[in-house]
């Protein structure tokens, strides 16, 4: 009989209930699928190499790491091996310190696998951890920060874990492969899929994530994943959540602000004549108002008039909608960013959505800007602080952590100072991107 290996701890991102303690917050389909694959691999390994079932709690377990909260709390897993998938390194404030601390407690970090934008500094840190024997392997398969990978070549966390641990092994099956596909198209915003959306809603509803992973580990064929909502009763839970959510979302109307920015008139020249020409070419049907320009004698007024026309066209303006997460009573649904967007897009057209939990957290999405004027993974550290970020099209920051943040004014963002707060954020966006502010105004009721 071979000795069993060290217990394996697989890490889900977000918060979750363990042994009746804690609350379910965060997490997404990618982290759930990644951990499902780890669980399936671990079980398969025990069956193959030790001819016995892997026992949950004894041989393997899931735990949580929340963004920005570090890894130190994992030191309780003395004598265990840790696996961290789908986690942006920037979101670990002191990676090296934490990993050293874990090693002192005999908790060994085996792998880090990620697909978020990375920096050279982070890669060097990981390399040095590997050299020192504090980490076995890592994969950073996202783009380097500020760079881009074509959509077709992008991978999500679940892609990496599936490829490394299940693909071409007897542990894999078409149901798990389908789960990988769902995580992929959902996480990378490739296409809309109803089942992927429902599974994400189950997570948003606060369903226990460990239970969800343990159940998904039971998938053994394609039909299993197709029927999973019914066979588990998750469909009822999701329906209830959707009903509660639809009751809650109109509250968003109370604090919705539109920030409009002029699309840069010309990137290459400051020459006013050239700028006017640039704008004239982008007036579309508003061109018929151009003759009035001749009535204006003053140069700068003429310029203002043409720019006013220019910005009348939706195409020439970048629109960010900001919303304040409403106060939520115990029985009400938590409105996550996806739920908020689903509602707000029915009210107003936008390129970006910035969802504010007070000034504590701001979660941002590119909703409909194919030109991607804003790289959110770079904008976030500018509004919050270094370490904030995410993807180009989906990222999060903590505005209150910014060195220049006025905590007296915005320490508590409430309905009565939300507009002023939006003006502050608009200023940061403008400062970061060079985009000039056109208007900032309340919308909704």
Specify the residue, 156 or 425, whose C-beta has the smaller distance to Mn ion: 156
Instruction: Check residue 61 for interaction with Mn ion (CB under 5 A).
Output: no
CA distance 215 to 175: 13
Residues 142-171 as x/- pattern, contact with Mn ion by CB under 5 A:
--------------xx--------------
* Interatomic CA distance for residues 17 and 63, integer angstroms: 9
The residue (of 189 and 282) whose beta carbon lies closer to Mn ion is 189
DSSP for 100-145?
A: HHHHHTT-EEEEEEE-S-B-HHHHHHHHHHHHTTSEEEEEE-SPBT
Residues 6+ apart with CB under 8 A from 267: none
Complex with Mn ion: residue 156 or 311, whichever CB lies closer: 156
User: Which of residues 59, 63, 81, 86 is near Mn ion by CB under 5 A?
Assistant: 86
- What does the alpha-carbon distance between residue 320 and residue 362 come to, in Å, rounded to a whole number? 13
187 part of the interface to Mn ion, by CB under 5 A: yes
Q: Are 393 and 337 in contact (CB under 8 A)?
A: no
Q: Any idea what DSSP says for residue 345?
A: T
Q: Bridge partners of 442?
A: 257
Considering the complex, state which of residue 36 and residue 359 has its C-beta at the smaller distance from Mn ion: 36
CB of 86 to Mn ion, least distance (A): 4
* Closest distance of CB 329 from Mn ion, Å: 31
Task: Pick the closer one to Mn ion by CB: 59 or 187.
Answer: 187
Q: Which is nearer to Mn ion, 142 or 326 (CB)?
A: 142
Q: Nearer Cβ to Mn ion, position 7 or 184?
A: 184
Residues 6+ apart with CB under 8 A from 251: 326, 335
Residue nearest to Mn ion (CB): 30
Nearer to Mn ion, 193 or 254 (CB): 193
Q: Is 384 in the site for Mn ion (CB under 5 A)?
A: no
At a CB cut-off of 8 Å and minimum separation 6, what does 341 contact? 353, 355, 365, 367
Closer Cβ to Mn ion, 156 or 265, answer by number: 156
Size of the site for Mn ion (CB under 5 A): 5
3-state secondary structure of 230: helix
- Cα dist. 167→162, 171, 196 in Å? 6, 8, 21
User: Which DSSP string do the residues of 39-98 spell out, in sequence order?
Assistant: HHHHHHHHHHHSSSPPPBTTTEEEEEE-TTS-SGGGGGSTT-EEEEES--GGGSTTHHHH
Cβ distance to Mn ion smaller for residue 69 or 100: 69
Q: Which stretch binds Mn ion (CB under 5 A): 79-87, 209-217, 222-230, 325-333?
A: 79-87
In whole angstroms, how close is the CB of 156 to Mn ion at the nearest point?
5
**Residue 30 contacts Mn ion per CB under 5 A:** yes
Task: State how far the alpha carbon of 176 is from the alpha carbons of 33, 56, 121, 163, 223, in Å.
Answer: 9, 20, 35, 11, 11
Residues making up the chain, counted from first to last: 445
Pairwise CA distance, residues 97 & 78, whole Å = 17
- Does 141 engage in binding with Mn ion (CB under 5 A)? no
Please compute, for residue 281, the number of CA atoms within 13 A of its CA located in the half-sphere on the CB side: 8
Q: How far is the CB of 157 from Mn ion (least distance, A)?
A: 4
Q: Which residues bind Mn ion (CB under 5 A)?
A: 30, 86, 156-157, 187
């Amino acid at each position: 009989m071979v000795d069993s290996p060290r217990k394996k701890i697989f890490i889900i991102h977000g918060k979750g209930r363990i042994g009746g303690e804690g609350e379910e917050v965060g997490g997404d389909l990618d982290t759930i699928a990644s951990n499902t694959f780890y669980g399936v691999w671990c079980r398969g390994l025990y069956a193959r190499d030790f001819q016995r079932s892997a026992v949950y709690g004894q041989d393997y377990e899931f735990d949580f790491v929340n963004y920005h909260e570090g890894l130190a709390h994992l030191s309780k897993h003395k004598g265990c091996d840790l696996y961290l998938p789908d986690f942006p390194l920037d979101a670990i404030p002191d990676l090296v310190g934490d990993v050293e601390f874990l090693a002192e407690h005999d908790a060994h970090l085996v792998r880090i696998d990620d697909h978020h934008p990375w920096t050279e500094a982070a890669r060097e840190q990981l390399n040095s951890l590997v050299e020192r024997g504090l980490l076995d392997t890592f994969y950073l398969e996202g783009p380097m920060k500020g760079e881009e990978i074509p959509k077709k070549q992008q991978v999500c966390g679940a892609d990496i874990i599936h490829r490394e641990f299940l693909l071409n092994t007897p542990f894999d099956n078409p149901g798990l492969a389908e789960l990988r596909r769902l995580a992929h198209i959902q996480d990378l915003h490739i296409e809309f899929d109803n089942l992927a959306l429902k599974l994400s809603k189950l997570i948003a509803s606060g369903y226990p994530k460990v239970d969800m992973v343990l159940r998904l580990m039971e998938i053994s064929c394609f039909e299993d994943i197709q029927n999973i909502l019914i066979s588990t009763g998750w469909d009822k839970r999701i329906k209830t959540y959707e009903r509660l959510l639809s009751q809650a979302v109109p509250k968003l109307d109370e604090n919705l602000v539109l920030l409009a920015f002029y699309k840069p008139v010309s990137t290459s020249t400051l020459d006013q004549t050239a700028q006017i020409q640039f704008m004239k070419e982008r007036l579309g049907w508003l061109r018929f108002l151009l003759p009035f320009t001749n009535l204006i004698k003053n140069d700068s007024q003429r310029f203002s008039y043409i720019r006013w026309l220019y910005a009348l066209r939706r195409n020439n303006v970048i629109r960010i909608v900001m919303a304040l997460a409403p106060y939520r009573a115990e029985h009400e649904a938590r409105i996550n960013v996806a739920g908020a967007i689903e509602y707000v897009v029915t009210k107003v057209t936008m390129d970006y959505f910035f969802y504010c939990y007070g000034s504590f957290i701001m979660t941002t999405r590119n909703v409909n800007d194919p030109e991607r004027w804003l790289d959110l993974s770079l904008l976030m550290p500018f509004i919050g602080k270094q370490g904030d970020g995410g993807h180009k099209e989906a990222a999060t920051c903590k505005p209150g952590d910014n060195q220049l943040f006025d905590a007296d004014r915005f320490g508590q963002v409430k309905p009565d100072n939300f507009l002023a707060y939006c003006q502050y954020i608009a200023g940061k966006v403008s400062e970061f991107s060079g985009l000039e502010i056109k208007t900032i105004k309340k919308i909704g009721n």
